[in-house]
Amino acid sequence: MIHRDLARRSFLKSAGCSLLAAPLVNLSAAPPQQPAPPSPSNLALNVREFGAAGDGLTKDTAAIQQAIDRCWVLGGGEVLVPAGNYLTGALALKSNTLLRLDKDAVILGSPEFADYPISQVRWEGKWIQGRIALIYAIDAGHTGIVGPGRIVGNPALGGRPNAQNPLRHPALIEPINCHDLRFEDFSTDYRLMWCLHPTYCENVVIRNLTIRSTGGNGDGIDIDSCRHVRIDTCDISTGDDCISLKSGRGMEGYTLLRTTEDVLITNCTMADSIFACIGIGSETSGGIRNVRIEHCKFTHARTFAIYIKSRPGRGAFIEDIVADDLDASDMNGGFLRFNILASGIQDAEPVPGDEGIPTIKNFKFSNIRLQDCGILADGTGIHPDKPLDGLALVNVTGTCAKGISLANIKNAEVRNIQVTGYTGPLIGINNVSGTGLEGAVQIDPPKLPEPIQAPVKPYQLH
């Protein structure tokens, strides 16, 4: 039912029939505003009064959910979680209701998969059956979680679907099709799975979170087909991407066309042990645009600080990506990579032909300070049939092992690159036009994937 409703809403929006669609936010305009307070009243309900034990042994799911539901039906307010360790299965947030965690309050996820109901969830860009998150919301507004307490997922639940547990494993926090959300001033700890995964949401503020996620696919924040998002002053250390921006995969995502747009990432500190600090893609079939990254520190990455990735078969676009005033140190791969040729799983029903090659334009990176960085910029993974239109690399200083490699780019601007420690040429190019390319050496073109043929039968949502 959730999938059908979401698809219907997406069709209305993409057809231009929705009267609620907001205009796009220009990158030079003010960042997304904090949502209005989630409650029209001063109601405050304590979960202890509903029977929550908080002893770390008793399952408090029913008591905490009753407090949330009671607050909701009485018009909204706050649900207070005082000091204690609250063992619980999945909890559903409701509209106009804020969950407030005391500084010594810990929400502990149950180790049993049965405590997490099955629903339609997003996994690697597709809607599938899966376990809902420890704390979730569906079709809610003016809700969220504030700290300064902790939310800890059970390590037994992480990882990818497998033979023993074939459904998607539960994320930690997952609002779906919600609006006006606050996640502020608390910390999370989970293993091998995503910590915060807003999907189809609008007007989201994520502020002052401390996120720890170890092991494999342990993303910190995954923004999935969301609009008007602000991520501010977060400290994130993860196994996989610290922050990932996504919008669906293959013909399903392309047909639904739910774009991730108007995202501000500011004043954050990020470290990653397996992949990138900020990953844009590879699920991009609904499009990604108007992203600003500013005043951030990247302290470690196994690959790159910023990795923009997709492939033919995704379709749609990645455009208007701006990054400014960044520090990047101890980047094994380097500072920046574009891979629009071969990143991520190819969908069973990809977007065919030239339409399936993502359109990319207007990427700008300025005032970047590097220390012990691998490659400054690997910008060669771009298809010549749809070159990157508009790339700026301006005011880059520090140390790196290798310089800049670019391919299939027009309207490039390379200016004031003052780095040391690199071997080989500072700039290598193939099929690149623009300014600041004097003295660049010619490099080999990238290897291209095989074209994707049109299916015999036209795609339909199913």
Each residue of 177-207: pLDDT tens digit? 999 999 999 999 998 999 999 999 999 999 9
Q: 346 versus 24: which is more confidently predicted?
A: 346
Residue 413 in this model has a pLDDT that exceeds 50? yes
Say which residues have a Cβ less than 8 Å from residue 305's Cβ, sequence separation at least 6: 270, 276, 277, 278, 298, 326, 328, 331, 334, 335, 336
Q: 22 versus 193: which is more confidently predicted?
A: 193
Q: How far apart are CA 70 and CA 390, in angstroms?
A: 53
As to burial, measured by CB atoms within 10 angstroms (0-12 exposed, 13-18 middle, 19+ buried), residue 131 is buried
Q: What is the pLDDT of residue 39?
A: 44
Residue 19 in this model has a pLDDT that exceeds 70? no
CATH class, range 83-442: mainly beta
Contact call for residues 363 and 390 (beta carbons, < 8 A)? yes
Q: 141 versus 25: which is more confidently predicted?
A: 141
Dihedral sign from CA coordinates of 292, 196, 199, 171 = positive
Q: What is the pLDDT of residues 130-186, one digit of tens each?
A: 999 999 999 999 999 999 999 999 999 999 999 999 999 999 999 999 999 999 999
Q: Where are the domains of the chain?
A: 83-442
Contact call for residues 244 and 274 (beta carbons, < 8 A)? no
Single out the residue of 271, 448, 424, 251 nearest to residue 350, CA to CA.
251
Half-sphere exposure of residue 176, counting CA atoms within 13 Å on the CB side?
20
Half-sphere exposure of residue 434, counting CA atoms within 13 Å on the CB side?
25
pLDDT-derived band of residue 217, with 50, 70 and 90 as boundaries? confident
Peptide bond into 343 cis (omega under 30): no
Peptide bond into 282 cis (omega under 30): yes
Q: How far apart are CA 241 and CA 150, in angstroms?
A: 21
Q: What is the pLDDT of residues 97-125, one digit of tens each?
A: 999 999 999 999 999 999 999 999 999 99
Average pLDDT rounded to a whole number, residues 437-450: 96
Q: What is the pLDDT of residue 154?
A: 96
Which residues, listed in sequence order, are joined to residue 55 by a DSSP beta bridge? 85
| Ranges 1-10, 258-267, 327-336, 434-443: which has the least confidence | 1-10
Q: How far apart are CA 266 and CA 452, in angstroms?
A: 38
pLDDT-derived band of residue 74, with 50, 70 and 90 as boundaries? very high
Residue 426 in this model has a pLDDT that exceeds 60? yes
Q: How far apart are CA 66 and CA 48, in angstroms?
A: 11
Contact call for residues 388 and 379 (beta carbons, < 8 A)? yes
| Ranges 34-38, 56-60, 253-257: which has the least confidence | 34-38
Single out the residue of 91, 86, 90, 92 nearest to residue 105, CA to CA.
86
